Chains A and B, each alone.
Chain A
Amino acid sequence: RKEVEQDPGPFNVPEGATVAFNCTYSNSASQSFFWYRQDCRKEPKLLMSVYSSGNEDGRFTAQLNRASQYISLLIRDSKLSDSATYLCVVNAGGSYIPTFGRGTSLIVHP
């Protein structure tokens, strides 16, 4: 079983739709969680950290479910500009070596 797993997609959604991605992780000692966004032929960029209590940033909401060992990203009111690959990143407590998922591709169409 891979340490961090994501559905590669692509998720094809119309503008204005709500879409959600999940990312499962296998190491129960994981402490730090992030969502990154990567545009085609560009570097990954931090979208948001994921806190135990969940957090929201505008149209984006991230949740952590420790019992089931997954994190989620919800995007509301999708924009064309949201089209990208979304990577989840997990880090075990005390480790400075992150584990990256392979990413979920999102395509938002008019």
Chain B
Amino acid sequence: DAGITQSPRHKVTETGTPVTLRCHQTENHRYMYWYRQDPGHGLRLIHYSYGVKDTDKGEVSDGYSVSRSKTEDFLLTLESATSSQTSVYFCAISESSSGRDYGYTFGSGTRLTVV
């Protein structure tokens, strides 16, 4: 399996506190993504990155920021956590070359509960 790890695996935090989730890859893939998954909504893209310091917003980016200072790390920060951000967060990586898409590999997820 591709080397992609997320940390922490589980976290409980209080409303209003900042939270940072980490995604680390050892595959040197160019593209990295953060998704949240909630019942009835499927996977929704929060932010993505197409290179070091190159990031962009997805469909549900409000309340989230990201950073990618190294190829291998993609951080997701909830600036001030709210209960609506209770979710399962997945990181994914991808590498496309010569126009071919090899698909996406997901981390094991982070279960975040905001109380």
Contacts and interface: CB of A to CB of B under 8 A. Distances in A.
Nearest to B90: A43
Mostly helix, strand, loop or mixed at chain A's interface?
A: loop
A32 B101 contact: yes
Contacts of A103: 42
Contacts of A43: 90, 106-109
A46 B104 contact: yes
Nearest to B100: A32
Interface residues of B, number: 21
B103 A34 contact: yes
Contacts of A41: 88
A71 B34 CA distance: 25
A101 B43 CA distance: 8
Contacts of B50: 96
A21 B105 CA distance: 22
A96 B96 contact: yes
Interface string A27-69: 0000110100000011111100100000000000000000000
Interface residues of A, number: 22
A102 interface: yes
A30 to B, nearest CB: 11
B19 interface: no
- Which residue, of B31, B41, B43, has the highest number of chain A Cβ atoms within 10 A? B43
A22 interface: no
Nearest to A93: B99
Interface string B77-104: 0000000000010100010100101011
Interface of A: 31-32, 34, 41-46, 49, 87, 89, 91, 93-94, 96-98, 100-103
Given A34-B103, A98-B104, A102-B41, 19 more contacts: A31-B101, A32-B101, A43-B90, A43-B106, A43-B107, A43-B109, A44-B90, A44-B106, A46-B104, A46-B105, A91-B101, A94-B99, A96-B50, A96-B101, A97-B45, A98-B94, A100-B42, A100-B43, A101-B42
